[in-house]
């Protein structure tokens, strides 16, 4: 245990806390706040928190739900049944995937669910496979719950999809869980049908539960049908998928999401949740129901905004001689750091010289070194203003 002296009392802190450090995005916030405290204006292209407004009908539903009888009482642990049924309808309408009620679980944001899936399926010392780079929560949750991480590299030459041949090592094959994230944060990569089929087959053959963090499922090319992992595991033998209202519906602060898939995994996840939390505030769940009933044209309009911003960003980055991964997934641009810079040097220079926040790639893993991520979560004019401040690199 780690010892802390507080008021003359020796407090013993969990050793695993020492392996975590601060949440990477908090460090970025601290640097940003220091500059703000100096009275300087910044443009924040760091954290992926949408700038777009919440649809008025969602807010109206949130307020209306405050008049529902017993709105202030504990919600069902697994979520309001009406919301679960709406998630089932969404998967049927959008993905042609059939779900039963016991295959759906409402979450306090998908981040919470992803954290709790570790103890739901893993014992201490069990392996969890994830990619490098990846969303930092996968690794921190694995460490906190005493499991072991195995990282599979994502490389540009493979369009940032993991190579399954890399996982022929015996220890990796004994893992309990494999977490993927497509459309991918931070790279923006979009998975193909063949990839999903291959990775499902691989995990099924090795008795590994496959989990897709599908936070950006709708943030893709306009007029294109989104993809679900469950389209290729219709019997839901070994797959689970996490979804959220945060990115598609600009509801990051609402903290509402869901898990769908294998009913035994869902049941285990519910057991963890029912012992650790008491569910999400019911009016927020009713707001989520309204979000899922919005016309597809609304979602396409959101895609149009992000794709328009992406095109503008790519034109400027190209003129600045900054390499980037060309994609239409998520609202991020994954860029190579210019020659003769380390990732830290470049991101620090951009912040101090131009007051622009970008996310250093190493926040997402060792293979993120020599990369940085731009979030397209400011209006087009602001993004253009920020990127035009960049120097032209050789």
pLDDT in tens, 93-122: 999 999 999 999 999 999 999 999 999 999
Window from 9-18, 175-184, 243-252, 329-338 with minimum mean pLDDT? 9-18
> What gap in Å lies between CA 68 and CA 258, rounded to an integer?
22
pLDDT of residue 385: 98
For 344, phi then psi, to 5°, come to: -65, -45
Q: Is the pLDDT of residue 212 over 90?
A: yes
Q: Partners of 257 in the beta sheet?
A: 107, 244
Helix intervals (H) in the chain: 15-18, 24-37, 56-64, 81-95, 110-121, 137-144, 170-173, 193-205, 263-276, 282-292, 296-319, 343-354, 380-388
Order of all β-strands in the sheet with 371-375: 332-336, 371-375, 359-360
Q: Encode pLDDT of 49-83 as tens digits.
A: 999 999 999 999 999 999 998 999 999 999 999 99
The whole-number pLDDT of residue 22 equals 66
CA distance 40 to 122: 47
Percent of the chain with pLDDT over 90: 85
- Inter-residue contact 119 to 272 (CB < 8 Å): yes
User: Are 209 and 200 spatial neighbours (Cβ–Cβ below 8 Å)?
Assistant: no
Give CA–CA dist 302/201, Å, rounded. Answer: 34
Q: 358-372: per-residue pLDDT in tens?
A: 999 999 999 999 999
The CATH number for 56-293, chosen from 3.40.640.10, 3.40.50.1950, 2.30.29.30, 3.30.750.24, is: 3.40.640.10
Dist. CA 328–CA 247, nearest whole Å: 15
Q: How far apart are CA 160 and CA 154, in angstroms?
A: 5
Fold of 23-53+297-389: 3.90.1150
* 230: Cα separation from own chain's centroid: 18
pLDDT band at 8 (very low <50, low <70, confident <90, very high): low
Q: Is 374 left (phi over 0), alpha (psi -120 to 50) or beta?
A: beta
- Does residue 394 carry a pLDDT above 90? no
Average of per-residue pLDDT values in the chain: 94
Whether residue 259 has pLDDT greater than 90? yes
Give the residue-averaged pLDDT of 31-39: 88
Q: Which one of 34-38, 170-174, 218-222 scores highest in mean pLDDT?
A: 218-222
Give the pLDDT of residue 17. Answer: 82
Sign of the alpha-carbon dihedral angle for 22, 51, 376, 296: positive
CB 372 within 8 A of CB 379: no
CATH 3.40.640.10 location in the chain: 56-293
> For the purposes of burial, counting CB atoms within 10 Å of the CB of 165, is it exposed (0-12), middle (13-18) or buried (19 or more)?
exposed
> What is the pLDDT at residue 171?
84
- Peptide linkage before 139 cis (omega within 30 of 0): no
Whether the per-residue pLDDT at 7 is higher than 70: the answer is no
Residues of the chain with CATH 3.90.1150.10: 23-53+297-389
Which pTM value belongs to this model? 0.94
How far apart, in Å, are the Cα atoms of 156 and each of 67, 114, 136, 347, 368?
A: 52, 26, 20, 21, 11
């Amino acid at each position: 245990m780690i010892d802390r002296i507080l008021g003359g009392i020796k407090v013993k802190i969990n050793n695993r806390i020492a392996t975590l450090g601060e949440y990477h995005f908090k460090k970025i916030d601290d640097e940003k706040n220091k500059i703000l405290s100096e009275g300087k204006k910044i443009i924040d292209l760091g954290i992926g928190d949408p700038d777009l407004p919440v649809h008025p009908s969602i807010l109206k539903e949130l307020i209306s739900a405050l008049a529902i009888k017993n709105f202030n009482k504990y919600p069902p642990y697994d979520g309001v049944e009406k919301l679960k049924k709406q998630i089932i309808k969404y998967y049927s309408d959008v993905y042609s995937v059939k779900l039963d009620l016991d295959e759906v679980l409402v979450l306090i944001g998908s981040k919470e669910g992803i954290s709790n899936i570790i103890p739901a399926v893993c014992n201490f010392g069990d392996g969890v496979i994830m990619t490098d780079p990846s969303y930092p929560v996968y690794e921190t949750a694995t460490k906190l719950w005493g499991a072991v991480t195995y990282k599979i590299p994502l490389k540009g030459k493979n369009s940032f999809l993991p190579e399954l041949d890399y996982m022929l090592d015996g220890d990796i094959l004994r893992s309990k869980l494999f977490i993927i994230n497509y459309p991918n944060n931070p790279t923006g990569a979009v998975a193909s049908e063949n990839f999903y089929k291959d990775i499902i087959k691989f995990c099924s053959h090795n008795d590994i539960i496959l989990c897709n963090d599908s936070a950006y499922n709708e943030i893709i090319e306009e007029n294109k049908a989104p993809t679900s992992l469950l389209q290729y595991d219709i019997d839901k033998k070994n797959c689970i998928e996490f979804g959220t209202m945060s990115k598609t519906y600009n509801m990051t602060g609402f903290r509402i999401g869901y898990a769908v898939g294998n009913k035994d995994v869902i049941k285990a996840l519910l057991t963890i949740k029912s012992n650790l939390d008491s569910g999400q505030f019911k009016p927020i769940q009713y707001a989520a129901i309204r979000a899922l009933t919005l016309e597809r044209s609304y979602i396409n309009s959101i895609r149009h905004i992000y794709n328009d911003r992406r095109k503008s960003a790519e034109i400027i980055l190209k003129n600045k001689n900054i390499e980037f991964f060309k994609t239409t997934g998520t609202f991020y641009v994954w860029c190579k750091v210019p020659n003769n810079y380390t990732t830290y040097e470049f991101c620090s220079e951009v912040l101090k010289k131009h007051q622009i926040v970008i996310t250093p790639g190493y926040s997402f893993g060792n293979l993120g070194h020599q990369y940085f991520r731009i979030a397209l979560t400011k209006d087009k004019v602001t993004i253009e203003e920020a990127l035009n401040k960049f120097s032209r690199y050789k």
